[in-house]
Structure 1
Amino acid sequence: MPRLASSALATSSCAALLACACASPSAPERVHIETLDSPAEGRSMGYSVYTPPGWDGETPLPLVIFLHGGGDDERVLAEKTAITATFDEWILAGRLDPFIMVAPNGERGFWANWYDGSHAYEDYVVDDVIPTVRARYPIAPGRENLHLMGISMGGAGTLFTSLHHGETFASATVLSAPIFDEQRFTRLAEGKMFRGMPHERLFGPPEVARETARTENPFAKLQTAADLHGTQLLIGAGRRDLPGLLRSNRKFHAHLEAAQIPHHYIEYRGGHDWRSWSQLFPVALCLHMRKSSCELEEDRFFALERDPEVFGVLAAQRASSPAG
């Protein structure tokens, strides 16, 4: 597994943030909407940028790419203020290392390169957004400082993008995502799952769509630990998530465990909503950036025993408590 941001970078960055916290601008002023001319999409595309409180604008920081779900766009970081407020809280408290987050606009395109060539959302993220942000902002170099995360449609996009670009990202956080095996992927690709989806434009004619479902479903793509190419993977869904999502995540988790593929798995208390996700984002980033020094709050989660590496300290505390 790759090593994450060095302790020297993390320590100096956190110290700078805490020293400047009183002078830091308000959260809305630290979320910007920008555009770029995308060769992949052949048009101007937007994305939002979050910068951490107290940042001096010069210290290189890790970059987190966030892929939104269906119905959102590049304004997600500006409109869903619970996300940035929670990041601010964790960073200022010293519980999370500072970072820059970028949320591109993926429309309702499944973050995929479409079969008919009309859209190339995955290429847009990897080939256009990341290089542009690196040119515009001081991003810390190296794979260990590049993370990918998403929810719902964006969670599926995160999983596929990380698998297609195996040595690009340090981590992939996949929350509330539809993770389909070959049978369900085939139903999706043949247009039998979502009414109105342009399935042939996206996946191709039936024979092509079926072959894509056979070879590109995540169960087929991840057969051994080597298939992760060192990417740290976290998957999870809520106990009150959309019908089928929790079930599909449990099935994928079981597949990964059976194949002895390292990953984190979380089942959380909430559902398919921003209140739940905003609490989970800093947890996931802390796990990927700091690994062993994350302070987690037990009452936000169920099924802690499902990932003892993540919640080991809390589980031990619970086990040592006197019986009530």
Structure 2
Amino acid sequence: MFRLLVFCVLFPLIAAAQDSKVFEELTVKSAILKKDKKFALYLPAGYESSQRAYPVVYLLHGGGDTQTAWIQSGNMQHLVDEAIRAGKIPPMIVVMPDAEMTFYMNNAAGKYQYEDFFIKELIPHIEKTYRCRTEKRFRAVAGLSMGGFGSLLYALHHPDLFGSCAALSAAVRTDQQIREMPHPEYLRRYRSAMGELKEGDNRITDFWNQNSILYLVKNLPEAQKKAVRFYLDCGDDDQLLYEGNANLHTLMRNLNIPHEYRVRDGGHTWEYWRTGLPDALAFISQSFQ
């Protein structure tokens, strides 16, 4: 009877200690951005009681959201927990930074260098603070919409840092789409990176090309074509971004850049991204094996 009582008291405490945890309001001091930057964090069950190091996925939010979006709207904790329990993915650390509306880019005039912060400050902070596997193949980047753009941008700009990249409904646009975008909409999306361009100003500048996913892929050096494993997923009803994603897939195929391309039923919605996250993480996890 005494043993049963002890078990009944201790088991909930042991189980709770083994649960995964999410932290929504962590911060890192940024000298580059001259302020504290928020990020959210997922630690897998057993992290606190183990000594092992874990692979890391940087999971990026879309435009208009913050570091909490994947947790509160994307239900990522439950989805990642379930995928780990099912053996579909290994235990991992997931980092979700707040990128504001930067499109994860540096500023053209050098005034707000978000990409520099991410690469030079955020990643080193995570790897210093948490038990991370620091080899390239154990570091991945993924995201939705603006975050899908960001994940592709970082994988293409820094193929030495990331083993794999999964882009859901990535905000990839053709030059024609950029030119034809209504000016208020263009400024809402790209003001942080491109500055206060006036209506009629040339939007396809050298700086834009240095950050355009289609331009970067088109000009990818032969030696880098297999440097990162790419996964693209865009809904067949995504009126905003199906064209850019289809063009990216065709371009990568024509240039013999290995990648996985998925078109599923759905639009530009959280339902689509929630259902897509487990398979995206399973693709990423192949690099961790």
TM range (shorter): 0.7 to 0.9
Q: Which of 172-181 and 37-46 deviates more?
A: 172-181
Give distance in 2, aligned partners of 1:211 and 1:32: 37
Structure 1 Cα separation of the partners of residues 211 and 104 of structure 2: 14
What is the one-letter code of the residue matched to 2:214? F
1:220 is aligned to 2:220? no
Say whether residues 1:194 and 2:185 are aligned partners.
yes
Q: Where in structure 2 are the equivalents of 1:26-45 lying within 5 Å?
A: 26-27=19-20, 29-45=21-37
1:220 positional shift:
2.2
Note the C-alpha offset of 1:273. 2.0
Residue equivalent to 1:239: 236
Q: Which has the higher contact order (CA 8 A, sep 6+)?
A: 2
Cα distance in 1, alignment partners of residues 237 and 109 from structure 2: 36
Partner of 2:43: 51
Find out whether 1:93 has 2:86 as its counterpart: yes
Task: Give the direction of change, closer, same or farther, for the CA distance of 1:216–1:32 in structure 2 (3 Å limit).
Answer: closer
In structure 1, the partner of 2:4 is: none
Does structure 2 retain, via aligned residues, the 8 Å contact 1:150–1:173?
A: yes
Q: Distance in 2 between matches of 1:86 and 1:78?
A: 10
**In 2, distance between residues paired with 1:61 and 1:200?**
37
Contact 1:82 1:275 in 2 (8 A): no
Contact 2:41 2:96 in 1 (8 A): yes
In structure 2, the residue matched to 1:135 is 128
Q: Given residue 213 of structure 2, which amino acid in structure 1 is its aligned partner?
A: P
| Contact kept? 1:21, 1:53, Cα under 8 Å | no
* Alpha carbons 1:186, 1:213 under 8 Å: kept: no
Partner residue of 2:96 out of 71, 83, 103: 103
Provide the secondary structure at the position in 2 that maps to 1:238: coil
State the shift of 1:32 in Å. 4.6
Task: Write the letter of the residue equivalent to 1:254.
Answer: T
- Cα distance in 1 for residues equivalent to 2:287 and 2:109: 41
**Cα contact 1:49–1:77 (8 A) shared by 2:** no
Q: What is residue 179 of structure 1 aligned with on the other side? A: 172
Query: For residue 263 of structure 2, what is the aligned residue in structure 1?
Result: 267
Is residue 168 of structure 1 aligned with residue 165 of structure 2? no
User: Residue 206 of structure 2 corresponds to which residue in structure 1?
Assistant: 211
2:176 is matched by which residue type in structure 1? Answer: Q
Q: Distance in 2 between matches of 1:251 and 1:193?
A: 25
Q: Output the amino acid matched with 1:197.
A: R
Aligned length: 270
Q: Matched residues in 2 for 1:291 and 1:65: separation?
A: 15
- The amino acid that maps onto 2:260 is H
Residue 8 (structure 2) aligns with: none
Q: Residues 117, 271 of structure 1: CA spacing in aligned structure 2 closer, same or farther, 3 A cutoff?
A: same
Residues 266/291 of structure 1: CA separation in 2 closer, same or farther (3 Å cut): farther
Shift of 1:267: 0.9
Question: Is the Cα contact below 8 Å between 1:185 and 1:217 reproduced in 2?
Answer: no
Given residue 132 of structure 2, which amino acid in structure 1 is its aligned partner?
A: I
Counterparts of 2:250 and 2:232, CA distance in 1: 12
RMSD: 2.7
Q: Which residue of 1 aligns with 2:282?
A: 286
Distance in 2, Cα, partners of 1:270 & 1:195: 25
Change (3 A) 1:21 1:250: farther
CA deviation string 1:222-248 (max 9, x = no partner)? 13553446111111211222x231122
TM-score (norm 2): 0.83
Q: 1:64 aligns with which of 38, 57, 64?
A: 57
Identity of aligned residues (%): 25
Structure 2 CA distance, aligned partners of 1:271 and 1:104?
24
Shift of 1:133: 0.7
Deviation at 1:209, TM superposition (A): 4.7
State how far apart, in whole Å, the 2-side matches of 1:141 and 1:154 are.
22
Point out where structure 1 has 5 or more consecutive residues left out of the alignment.
1-19, 294-324
C-alpha change, 1:123 and 1:275, in structure 2 (3 Å) is same
Q: 1:155 to 1:133 in 2, by over 3 A?
A: same
CA change 1:58–1:32 in 2 (3 A) is farther
After superposition, the Cα gap between the structure-2 partners of 1:23 and 1:63, relative to the gap in structure 1 and judged at 3 Å, is same
Structure 1 match to 2:272:
276
* 1:115 correspondence with 2:108: yes
